[in-house]
């Protein structure tokens, strides 16, 4: 991601119109921070409704970041269009360090491939701050389903193509595409059944209406522990601390690795000093014992990266998911 744009597109016309005045002063002004940044409240836009995993991570981290920065970091939920609405707001915000985004694999890797029209460029319009956490997904089945391992599931699906179905939280969601990657690498034909959210999908898998589901680990954790669901594998490359005995799907399907992630972004052109302060505050917030404990309970893997790691991740994720989205046939107007 680039953070070397001196002004936003919206601001360019105004500056161009003021060219004569700027020339008289000797130069165009560049974005600069007032002394003592942050001098006022920082707004963290969450591009999804309250109550989900992204919102939970945002509120945990924002509270501690505010303590570190000496200014409140408030969470502003701007749900809509699969995260595009909130991400677009931040992409067009003034690059002054006071409006930042809680980005996800959806906003910065899937949506650019899914949507015919999107109001932002996932790379050019944002300055990366920090990759905060990775959140694993999990493949679960109804307890009465005959497969008890990933390999047994693959064998069943290959023996009877098209017979079995999997549920997800919706078309084009990270969980839908976790299933599509599974199908591709395993060479199986299983039918996708999209739901309007993980909750309704969980209900039907537990009831036996659909035999299996790809879900965020936090949503399924209690159901796995109580035996209402049987977990076959986590979608991350390695096993998770929450369920150390649960194999990773990649142990059966080499190269399989999907997960959700949460990361902080600012508008492109945000001064480096602001990025540095925001990064330091985010990393320190993730080191707080209370935050760490809650995120661990939430099955999140704490990262707290520097900006370059996040920039590299976005480019890699875009390259990874574009062909998977194309193969799935999913597209949203």
pLDDT over threshold 50, residue 27: no
pLDDT in the model for residue 242 = 84
Instruction: Determine, yes or no, domain membership for 333.
Output: no
Q: For residues 117-123, give the mean pLDDT.
A: 96
Over residues 120-133, mean pLDDT: 98
112 and 174 inside one domain: no
Number of domains in the chain: 2
pLDDT of residue 18: 39
Q: Which domain holds residue 173?
A: 136-251
Place 171 in a pLDDT band, splitting at 50, 70 and 90: confident
pLDDT at 241: 84
Q: Summarize the confidence of residues 103-112 as an average pLDDT.
A: 94
Write down the pLDDT at residue 319: 95
Comparison of pLDDT for 11 and 80, the residue scoring more: 80
The larger pLDDT score, comparing residue 241 to residue 88, is at 88
Quote the pLDDT of residue 35: 62
Lowest mean pLDDT among 59-68, 213-222, 225-234, 281-290: 213-222
Of 191-200, 220-229, 248-257, 309-318, the least confident: 191-200
What's the average model confidence in pLDDT over 162-177? 90
Listed residues 199, 225, 251: the one ending a domain: 251
Give the domain CATH number at 201. 3.40.190.10
pLDDT of residue 331: 81
- The answer to whether residue 50 sits within a structural domain is yes
Do 175 and 211 fall within a single domain?
A: yes
Indicate yes or no: pTM above 0.75. yes
Q: What's the pLDDT tens digit per position in 38-92?
A: 999 999 999 988 877 889 899 999 999 999 999 999 999 998 888 999 999 999 9
Do 170 and 276 have their domain in common? no
| Res 325 pLDDT > 90 | no
The residue among 224, 251, 278 that closes a domain is 251
Say whether pLDDT at 19 is over 60: no
Task: Place 33 in a pLDDT band, splitting at 50, 70 and 90.
Answer: low
Same domain assignment for residues 319 and 214: no
Is the residue at 154 inside a domain? yes
Mean confidence (pLDDT) of the chain: 88
Asked if 173 and 269 sit in the same domain, the reply is no
The predicted model gives 159-178 an average pLDDT of 92
User: CATH number for the domain including 298?
Assistant: 3.40.190.150
Same domain for 127 and 161, yes or no, is no
Task: Examine the pLDDT at 28 and tell me if it is beyond 80.
Answer: no
Determine, yes or no, domain membership for 12. no
The three-state (H, E, C) secondary structure of the chain, written as one string: CCCCCCCCHHHHHHHHHCHHHHHHHCCCCCCCCCCCCCCCCEEEEECCCCCCHHHHHHHHHHHHHHHHHCCCEEEEECCCHHHHHHHHHHHCCCCCCCEEEEEEHHHHHHHHHHECCCCCCCCCCEEEEEEEEEEEEEEEECCCCCCCCHHHHHHHHHHCCCCCEEEECCCCCHHHHHHHHHHHHHCCCCEEEECCCHHHHHHHHHHCCCCEEEEEHHHHHHHHHCCCCEEEEECCCCCCCCCCCCCEHHHCCCCCCCEEEEEEEEECCCCHHHHHHHHHHHHHHHHCHHHHHHHHHCCCEECCCCHHHHHHHHHHHHHHHHHHHHHHCCCEC
Domain shared by 174 and 196, yes or no = yes
Model confidence at 20: pLDDT above 90? no
Residue finishing a domain among 200, 226, 251: 251
């Amino acid at each position: 991601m680039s953070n070397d744009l001196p002004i936003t597109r919206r601001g360019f016309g105004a500056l161009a119109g003021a060219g004569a005045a700027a020339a008289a002063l000797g130069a165009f002004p560049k974005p600069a921070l007032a002394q003592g940044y942050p001098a006022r409240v920082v707004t963290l836009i969450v591009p999804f409704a309250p109550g989900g995993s992204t919102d939970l991570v945002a509120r945990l981290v924002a509270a501690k970041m505010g303590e570190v920065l000496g200014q409140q970091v408030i969470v502003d939920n701007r749900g809509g269009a699969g995260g595009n609405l909130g991400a677009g707001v931040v992409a067009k915000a003034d690059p002054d360090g006071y409006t930042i985004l809680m980005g996800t694999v959806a906003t910065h890797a899937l949506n650019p491939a899914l949507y015919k029209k999107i109001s932002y460029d996932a790379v050019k319009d944002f300055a990366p701050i920090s990759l905060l956490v990775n959140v694993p997904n999990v493949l679960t089945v109804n307890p009465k389903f005959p497969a008890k391992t990933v390999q047994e599931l693959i064998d069943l699906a290959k023996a009877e193509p098209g017979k079995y179905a999997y549920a997800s939280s919706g078309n084009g969601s990270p969980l839908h595409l976790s299933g599509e990657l599974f199908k591709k690498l395993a060479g199986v034909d299983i039918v996708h059944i999209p739901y309007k959210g993980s909750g309704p999908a969980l209900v039907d898998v537990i009831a036996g209406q659909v035999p299996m589901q790809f879900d965020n680990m936090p949503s399924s954790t209690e159901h796995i522990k109580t035996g209402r669901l049987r977990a076959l594998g986590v979608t991350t490359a390695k096993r998770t601390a929450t369920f150390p005995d649960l194999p990773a799907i990649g142990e059966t399907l080499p190269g399989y690795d999907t997960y959700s992630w949460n990361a902080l972004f600012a508008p492109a052109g945000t001064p480096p000093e602001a990025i540095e302060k925001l990064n330091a505050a985010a990393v320190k917030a993730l080191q707080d014992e209370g935050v760490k404990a809650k995120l661990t309970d939430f099955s999140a893997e704490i990262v707290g990266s520097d900006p370059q790691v996040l920039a590299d991740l976005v480019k890699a994720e875009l390259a990874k998911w574009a062909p998977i989205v194309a193969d799935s046939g999913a597209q949203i107007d």
